[in-house]
Amino acid sequence: MKKCRTCSRWFIPTQNQIKKSDFECVKCARERAKEYRANRKAKGNPVVSGRMSAEWYREYLKKYYSDPSNRERRNRLTRERSKRKENAIKVMARTITHHAVERGELVKTSCVRCGDKLAEAHHRDYTKPLIIDWLCKKCHREEHRKTKAKGK
């Protein structure tokens, strides 16, 4: 038995609450969630099925990316990430591919799976930067999901 952190009533916590050390009874948790949703809605973030509307999200991203401090921070983090040893090979492969396309050594084609004209380069092996597959964004994500699931 644990004491609720909000109302101080005794209750039996779930396994998840024990794992997170978050001891709040069901009644208080529901009340807090209801309050949270009402506050978000009042601030202009309409929550539909637990997600914000696409219009609100687009507007949020527009503000976020237009803020110079966010842009500087993201650029700095990207530079730091590209300098890490495990990412250096990937960055080099992408750079070599980009320059090869600019010089005309590599020709962009449509997606090899679905035929979409907007395709991006996919490296199966970053140590061979000019051996690539052209995949659209959707197929590219799917390919990475498969690779991640295999544990590579």
Per-residue model confidence (pLDDT) at position 55: 84
Instruction: Tell me the two tokens of residue 102.
Output: 């600019």
| Average of per-residue pLDDT values in the chain | 88
Residue with tokens 């999200």: 57
Residue with tokens 């799976």: 113
Of the residues 46, 66, 86, the one at which a domain ends: 66
Is there a single domain that holds both residue 20 and residue 80? no
Its sign, for the CA torsion 117, 123, 129, 130, is: negative
Cα–Cα dist 76/17, whole Å: 37
Of the residues 38, 66, 94, the one at which a domain ends: 66
Predicted confidence (pLDDT) per residue in 39-58, tens digit = 877 877 666 666 777 888 89
Of the residues 41, 66, 91, the one at which a domain ends: 66
Q: Structural domain of residue 126, as residue ranges?
A: 68-150
Cα→Cα distances 65→43, 58, 60, 111, 142, Å: 20, 11, 9, 29, 26
Q: Provide, rounded to the nearest whole percent, the portion of the chain with pLDDT above 90.
A: 47
Is there a single domain that holds both residue 83 and residue 128? yes
